[in-house]
Structure 1
Amino acid sequence: MAASSYAGAVRAGTMAAARRHQQLGFRGDIEARGGNVDVFRAINMLDLPLLLRPLHGLLGAYLSEPAPGVLVTTQRPMSIQRFTAAHELGHFAMRHLPSLDDESILRRMPMAGEPTADFQEIEADAFAVEFMMPRWLILWHSARQGWMADEFRKPNRVYQLSLRIGASYEATCWTLVRHRLITLPVARDLLETQPRELKVALLEAHKPKDYRGDVWLLTQRDAGTRIDGSRNDLFVLRLEEHSGGGYLWDIDQLRASGFGIVRDEVEALDREGIGGPVIRRVTAQPTELYRGRIAIDERRPWEPDEPIASLNVDIDLTGPEEEGLSRAERRSLLEAA
């Protein structure tokens, strides 16, 4: 039965997304290995036909006849592609009428302040937010990173959260309001800061040719997790190093993982002490389109013993989605071969 009110539509979309999560079993996988909700994998698992095309004037579309199928544009960043795909999945999950979706789906997402009277679209919007950015996912990443509630008042923390859940910075701000993790005035304050400013601050003296890629701040808290990024992304590794005891992070391993080192520096943790731990801060970028693993150990160069610390992160930097099969569908076909 179609919703008859805005609140009813939001509730229906949210509940439908929770049911799909339970059906697909994503939560257990993410809580074991990290990462985000792979919307394109969900579409593939549900055998919902998907076409990725350069759509002009549209972000996506849902078709119900002669059989259900969705379209998603190749002309937007990965975070927008993912939200669009989640919106179209919502139309499918709730058995909606066909829909052609433009950028209004971004402006009217719950809490963003531009509602519509079309309850079908409200249901799909709410589905997309809950499916892609559920509260448990935000809390999982927060616990993993050691972020307390007050941390979400800091733009740099919200930006790093947005990368880990695979959403835009703006969508993450509004979703934190929706989950009552911040207030509406705090979200508006956060949105005064643009992601470009946060990238510049993270990269410090390094100036890339442009700032279209994201900048990930990785620490040892990211060990054993997964990263789903884009071709132009850069990484700042901030690692505690026990150089006073002869232990150093093996930067050659990072190079062997397929990264170029654009900056490498050391800063003292305790400026008054001598011989204590320091912070090794390394800025790196992939040298080519890359899917694999960052693997780096802290060890004494002259000893073959086990390292005292390691950072191993599975990464996929092949986004955004390109024309043809989605990355999830290509991986599924390779695994079945």
Structure 2
Amino acid sequence: MALDYESAVRTGAMTAGRLHRRLGTQAIIERHGGSVDVFGTIHSLGLPLLLRPLKGLLGAYLSSPAPGVLVTTERPMSIQRFTAAHELGHFAMEHEPSLDDESILRRMPMSPEPGSKFEETEADAFAIAFMMPKWLIAQHCARQSWTTADLCRPNIVYQLSLRIGASYEATCRTLVRYNLISTTIMRDLLQTKPRSLKVDLLYDYKPADYRGDVWLLTEKDEGVRLDGSRNDLFVLKLTEHSGGGYLWDLEKLIASGFAVVRDEREALDAEAIGGPVVRRVTAAPEAAQRGRMSLNERRPWQSTSANSSLTIDYDLTGPEQEGLSRAERRHLLEAA
């Protein structure tokens, strides 16, 4: 175990980096996008995991008689993932047993915790480096053409947080840790609450509640994998060349299990006649489901020829429920 805070942070981050290299995580996400599969990693390492409605705890790591992990079912998916990554860190560094409560969320990666519980510091640093590595942020920024200046905008940081599978606050603080934004900008970002960002994205559509996230998807998300929750909503902002007869066909989207709750068009250039427009479609999943969202931009009379397409694999069955993790259930289904 490390003997001071700085070496504890370094040990945790280096252990996470070694595990990513061992698993080839970066290459996998480069091909398909998405976030680090924390629960899938736990399953692939053969580390027993139990999901339970824990009282007063977010998770726990047990080392005897054999290593094992507990994670609560009573928190949002982003917190479940961070907790699981924290417990995975305890396992990877062969720590003593640990019962982890809300304090793992309050501890800031840039501020030493009181006392000398450096095993917790190591596990915190591991969780951040494993779940939110700098290369993952860089990959998503490159795909979306986001610059460092864009990371000062709350709406961009919110969309980044969804894609890396972290909370908005954790993403803001991690951007500071990687020197991508300043502490002052982080404080400004945290003045904006995710609920207001969701309201802005949905315009005049009002869901029953705002517990779910709101994803803004464009053609840049073609081919990615999304890991979300059953209450999430999707705003598809797509360029439509209606002047040339091309329209986005929503039939496949509806057949995929989504209800179109809002659909509008606006001109890209109000002065132009017959130019492309922006098609803005808000879609809601009709059930907690896994599958593929697919739609094409084509001329209605040329059903076999598409000008553009958007295909996204998704899993909207989160948060993790009691019993086996989704990753373990998927593995069992594939093996059956």
TM-score (norm 2): 0.98
Are residues 1:173 and 2:172 paired? yes
Equivalent positions of 1:22-37 (< 5 A) are 22-37=21-36
Residues 107 and 114, structure 1, Cα contact 8 Å, conserved in 2:
no
Instruction: Give the structure 2 partner of residue 182 of structure 1.
Output: 181
Distance of 1:38 and 1:198 partners within structure 2: 26
| Other-structure match for 2:76 | 77
List, as ranges, runs of 4+ consecutive aligned residues in structure 1 with deviation greater than 3 Å.
none
> 2:4 maps to which residue?
5
Question: In the alignment, does 2:317 pair up with 1:289?
Answer: no
Q: Does 1:224 align with 2:193?
A: no
Secondary structure (helix, strand or coil) at the match of 2:306 reads coil
What per-residue deviation string (whole Å, max 9, x for no partner) do you get for residues 251-288 of structure 1? 12211111001100001100010000000000010011
AA in 1 matched with 2:63: S
Q: Verify the 8 A CA contact 1:60 1:85 in the aligned structure 2.
A: yes
Q: Distance in 2 between matches of 1:256 and 1:298?
A: 16
CA distance in 2, matches of 1:120, 1:196: 35
Query: Deviations along 1:223-265, whole A, 9 cap, x unmatched?
Result: 0000000000000000000000100000122111110011000
> Which segments of 5 or more consecutive residues in structure 2 lack a partner in the other structure?
none
* Cα distance between partner residues in 2 of 1:300 and 1:241: 11
1:325, 1:150 → 2: CA distance? 41
1:264 counterpart = 2:263: yes
Take 1:27 and 1:40, find their aligned partners in 2: how far apart are those partners?
16
Distance 1:253 1:41 in 2: 29
Partners of 1:33 and 1:226 within 8 A in 2: yes
Contact 1:53 1:324 survives alignment (8 Å)? yes
Find the aligned partners of 1:319 and 1:105 in 2 and give their Cα distance. Answer: 21
- CA RMSD in angstroms comes to 0.8
**In 2: Cα distance, 1:76 partner to 1:305 partner:** 45
TM superposition shift of 1:201: 0.4
Is the 1:60–1:100 contact (alpha carbons within 8 Å) kept by the matching residues of 2?
yes
CA distance in 2, matches of 1:99, 1:116: 17
**Who is 1:149 aligned against?**
148
Q: Following TM superposition, by how much is the alpha carbon of 1:116 offset from its aligned partner in structure 2, in angstroms?
A: 3.6
Matches of 2:209 and 2:109, distance apart in 1? 31
Relative to 1, partners in 2 of residues 1:20 and 1:305: Cα closer, same or farther, differing over 3 Å?
A: same
**1:115 match:** 113
Using the TM superposition, give the Cα deviation of residue 137 of structure 1 relative to its aligned residue in structure 2, in angstroms.
0.2
Partner of 2:57: 58
Q: Identify the residue that residue 87 of structure 2 maps to in structure 1.
A: 88
* Preserved CA contact (<8 Å) 1:108 1:116: no
1-structure distance, mates of 2:253, 2:130 = 34
Deviation at 1:25, TM superposition (A): 1.4
Q: CA deviation at 1:90?
A: 0.2
> How far apart are the structure 2 equivalents of 1:237 and 1:299?
16
Residue in structure 2 matched with residue 163 of structure 1 by the alignment:
162
Question: What is the Cα deviation at residue 333 of structure 1?
Answer: 1.1
How far the C-alpha of 1:115 sits from its partner, in A, is 2.4
SS of the residue aligned with 1:308? strand
Distance, in Å, in 2 between the alignment partners of 1:11 and 1:236 is 40
Matched residue pairs, number?
335
Contact preservation (8 Å) 1:270, 1:276: yes
SS of the aligned residue for 1:309 comes to: strand
1:101-112 matches, within 5 Å, as: 101-111=100-110
Question: Could you tell me which amino acid in structure 2 is paired with residue 216 of structure 1?
Answer: W
Moved more, 78-87 or 27-36: 27-36
Aligned partner of residue 213 in structure 1, secondary structure: coil
Q: TM-score, normalised by structure 1?
A: 0.98
Task: Quickly say closer, same or farther: Cα 1:114–1:214, change in 2 above 3 A.
Answer: farther
Residues 78 and 167 in structure 2, CA contact (< 8 A), matched pair in contact too: yes
1:114, distance to aligned residue in structure 2 (A): 6.7
Asked if the contact 2:5–2:112 (Cα under 8 Å) also holds between the matched residues in 1, the reply is no
Partner residue, 1:43: 42
- After TM superposition, give the deviation of residue 290 of structure 1 in Å: 1.4
Percentage identity across paired residues of the two chains: 68
Work out whether residues 85 and 127 of structure 2, in 8 Å CA contact, stay in contact via their aligned partners in 1. yes
SS in 1 for 2:280: strand
* One-letter amino acid matched to 2:141: S
